[in-house]
Amino acid sequence: MLVLSDIDKKKAKRNLMKAFLKTLRKQDNLITASDEKLWSATLNYVTVKSDKELVFNFKDGRELPWRIEDER
């Protein structure tokens, strides 16, 4: 089993952030639509928990729960 050192983990995280920032810098203006390159640079996947709840799984290991509210 391969165990990454803290330095290796930080280098990997840094490389992910560099890729994300590079993608953001290529944007000419505010992001108003879905962007596959930006998605790929930051997210692994989204889990749909229910019709009102999503969980975004980021490449750095963080998870962000998101609740969809009614707009009525």
| Tokens 């707009």 -> residue | 71
| Confidence at 2, pLDDT banded by 50, 70, 90 | low
Provide the pLDDT for residue 13: 78
What residues are paired with 55 via a beta bridge? 47, 65
Q: What count of other Cβ atoms lies within 10 Å of the Cβ of residue 27? A: 11
Provide the pLDDT for residue 45: 92
- Residue 47 sits at the vertex; the CA angle it makes with 57 and 67, to the nearest 5 degrees, is 90
Residue 23 — φ and ψ, nearest 5°? -65, -45
| Confidence at 72, pLDDT banded by 50, 70, 90 | low
Does the reported pTM lie above 0.75? Answer: no
Per residue in 19-65, pLDDT (tens digit) is 777 877 777 777 777 778 778 878 899 999 999 999 999 888 889 99
